[in-house]
Every structure is written in C-alpha cells, then in structure tokens.
C-alpha cells in the first residue's frame, strides 16, 4: 500500500498556520474494494481536504461489526445496509441514517439451472446459501413475504450459512447462493460457470429490495452542531467522490488498488465492480428518498411471525445533513 488512509489536510493546515482540519473516521462495511470507491476517490483527489477534513477510512471484514465499532467510539460514521442498521436500532443501538449514496440494491440469489429452479415457486425444498452477520435480513424478509419457513421444515427452504465466497454453488452444496451484482456473481462466472447455466433473482425485480450502503452515525452525535456541520461537509465531499468514480471507473479502480493493503484485488475485477456499482448510484444525490425508506421498512415488517423488525422505527433517519450538504 503506497498511501496512508488519512488526507494531508491536517498537515497542510498546520504548516500554513491555519486551524487543524476536522478529523473524521469512516468505518466501512467490508474490505477495501470498489464498493466503497467514492470515499477513497474523495480522499485521493483532495475533496475531503477541500472541505477542511482529515479523513481516515477503516476497512471492514468478516470479523468487523461496523455498529460495534461505532458504538465503541472507533468511528464517527459507518457504512451499513439499512436492514442491519434498523435491526440494530430496534435492539438498542441508536444509529441514524444521514445519507444514502446507493439508490438501488445489488443483492440477488444466483442459482444453478440444473437445480430445476425457474422461479421463486421452486424454492421450497431447496438449499439456499445466505450470508449472516446482519446480511441475512433482506433474505429473511423475502422468504417471509413468500410464506416460506427457513428452518428446513417441510414446504420451506433449508438455509446454508454461506461464507463470503461462492463455494457452495461451485461445489453444488446449495441450489442458490447470495451474490451481489458487482462482486460474487462475477466470481461464479470467473470460476468457469457460464451465464447460460445460471438463473438470477435480483431483489429489486422481486419487489423486496432494501437499501444498502447508507451512511450512519449515532443519534446523540446529532445533538452537536459542530458534528452536524462536519458530517455535511463529509457527505458533500463523499458524493463528489462518488460522482467522479462513476464517471471514471478505471481511475477509481486504480485508486482503490492503491489503498488495498491485502493485495487481493485485481484491476480487472475492480473496474468491473465499479462499473456495476455506478448503476446502483444512478438517481442518487446522496439524500435518502423517504419512499425508498418506507419500502424498506415495509419489507422488513412483512416477515409474518418472524419479521426482521417488529415495529415502525422512529427517528431512524434525518435529511438535515444532506440538506446542509447541498447548500
């Protein structure tokens, strides 16, 4: 890795005799990849520095729970999916959505055609791979809407707790697995399975899409006017980063690779990921669309006897930060 994950804003301000820049720590939901390119681009291109911010980006991973990092004071703001955030809020974690860069969902089930699945009506009796650690909520909501039990009982589906890979499909341990349009689906293709041998079910197409990759802070933090001002500048610069990344996928991919400490990512995969992610950003200026929020809540409440959330959330989002950012 050739760059530190902090901007040079603080050093520049100190050397010029100006006040130090405001520190912001962002906790990502997953590892460094183009899923988060807008933040890395904003850092690299100086958009945060222009807003007098000194930003540190903390990658996530299988052992990182963004909500716990936020609650523990390890970050000022986190990236999370709304189902996970709302479930955490109902369970006592006072997280609030302050911005929603992703307009559409990239989540889908990818199935082998040889399994005999042609539509959701064929799910009963099948084994389906599902991510957990907060990622299972959209799936459980969908199964609830379909009236399918997820405990392996007759007439329902068997849930295989899927690792963050595509092995269950490749090894035919599951008829379908969880994938993202910008990542795991292409891992299946790259593993040698033809698109003609697959059938996919996008959550968006099934009417059960929930919001992904929003920005969340702790509710108490929003009582501080200085914090709100800092977040407005952070959101403004982040959206500039996303706009640039969507328009320049190759450069964005290069920037992501520069910040990848693991060396696990490749240029080809990151360019493809950025191209797909750009589709999910279309129509978003960073503001949360209340209709999208209400659709997500309705989906999460629709799980029959076992919904993801049990009551309408109160105070789970604010438009104040994005309103200020746009000014």
**Residue 241 near residue 45 (C-beta atoms within 8 A):** yes
Q: Is the pLDDT of residue 18 over 70?
A: no
- pLDDT the model gives residue 177: 98
Better-predicted residue by pLDDT, 33 or 145: 33
**Residue 78 near residue 70 (C-beta atoms within 8 A):** yes
pLDDT band at residue 152 using 50, 70 and 90 as cut-offs: confident
Helix, strand, coil percentages, rounded to 5, for the chain: 45, 15, 40
**Residue 277 near residue 106 (C-beta atoms within 8 A):** yes
- pLDDT the model gives residue 304: 67
Token pair in block for residue 280: 């999910």
Strand-pairing partners, residue 189, are none
Q: Is the pLDDT of residue 148 over 80?
A: yes
Q: Where are the alpha helices (DSSP H) in 149-224?
A: 167-170, 184-190
- Give the C-alpha distances (Å, rounded to integers) separating 287 from 219, 262, 296: 18, 32, 15
What is the helix (H) or strand (E) element at residue 324, kind and residue range? Answer: helix 320-326
Q: Is the pLDDT of residue 35 over 60?
A: yes
- pLDDT the model gives residue 296: 93
- pLDDT the model gives residue 99: 98
CB-based contacts of 278, cutoff 8 Å, min separation 6: 245, 246, 249
Mean pLDDT of the 70-90 span? 97
Mean pLDDT of the 10-33 span? 75
Q: Is the pLDDT of residue 17 over 70?
A: no
- pLDDT the model gives residue 305: 63
CB-based contacts of 186, cutoff 8 Å, min separation 6: 269, 272, 273
Percent of the chain with pLDDT over 70: 94
- pLDDT the model gives residue 54: 98
Mean pLDDT of the 145-170 span? 93
What are the pLDDT digits (tens) for 191-222? 999 999 999 999 999 988 999 999 999 999 99
Percent of the chain with pLDDT over 90: 83
Strands 214-218 and 95-99: antiparallel
- Please name which of 29, 137, 146 lies closest in space to residue 86, comparing C-alpha atoms: 137
Q: Is the pLDDT of residue 59 over 90?
A: yes
E strands within 173-305?
176-180, 198-202, 214-218
E strands within the chain?
22-27, 53-58, 77-80, 95-99, 107-112, 127-130, 158-161, 176-180, 198-202, 214-218
CB-based contacts of 83, cutoff 8 Å, min separation 6: 134, 137, 138, 141, 210, 296, 300, 308
Q: Is the pLDDT of residue 135 over 90?
A: no
- pLDDT the model gives residue 8: 44
Mean pLDDT of the 81-102 span? 97
Distance CA 301, CA 323 (A): 28
- DSSP state letter for 120: G
Q: Give the 3-state secondary structure of residue 41.
A: helix
Domains of the chain (ranges, CATH numbers): 9-104+211-326 (3.40.190.10), 107-202 (3.40.190.10)
Mean pLDDT of the 23-40 span? 98
């Amino acid at each position: 890795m050739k760059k530190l994950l902090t901007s040079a804003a603080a050093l520049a301000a100190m050397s010029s005799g100006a006040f130090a820049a405001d520190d912001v720590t962002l906790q990502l939901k997953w590892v460094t990849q183009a899923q988060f390119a807008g933040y890395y681009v904003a850092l690299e291109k100086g958009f945060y520095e222009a807003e007098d911010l000194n930003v540190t980006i903390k990658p996530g991973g299988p052992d990182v729970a963004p909500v716990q990092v936020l609650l523990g004071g390890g970050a000022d703001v986190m990236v999370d999916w709304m189902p996970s955030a709302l479930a955490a809020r109902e369970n006592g974690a006072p997280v609030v959505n302050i911005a929603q860069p992703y307009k559409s969902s990239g989540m889908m089930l990818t199935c082998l055609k040889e399994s005999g699945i042609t539509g959701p009506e064929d799910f009963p009796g099948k084994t389906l791979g599902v991510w957990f650690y907060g990622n299972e909520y959209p799936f459980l909501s969908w199964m609830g809407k379909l009236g399918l039990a997820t405990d392996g009982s007759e007439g329902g589906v068997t849930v295989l707790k899927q690792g963050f890979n595509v092995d269950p499909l490749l090894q035919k341990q599951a008829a379908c697995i969880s994938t993202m349009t910008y990542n795991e689906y292409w891992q299946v293709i790259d593993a040698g399975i033809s698109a003609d041998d697959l059938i996919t079910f996008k959550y968006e197409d099934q009417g059960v899409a929930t919001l992904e990759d929003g920005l969340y802070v702790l509710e108490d933090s929003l009582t501080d006017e200085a914090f709100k001002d800092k977040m407005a500048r952070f959101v403004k610069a982040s959206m500039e980063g996303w706009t640039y990344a969507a328009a320049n996928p190759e450069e964005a991919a290069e920037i992501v690779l520069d910040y990848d400490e693991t060396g696990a990512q490749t240029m080809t995969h990151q360019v493809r990921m950025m191209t797909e992610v750009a589709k999910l950003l279309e129509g978003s200026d960073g503001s949360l669309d209340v209709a999208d929020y209400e659709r997500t809540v309705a989906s999460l409440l629709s799980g029959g006897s076992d919904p993801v959330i049990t009551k309408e959330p109160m105070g789970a989002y604010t438009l104040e930060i994005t309103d200020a950012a746009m000014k």
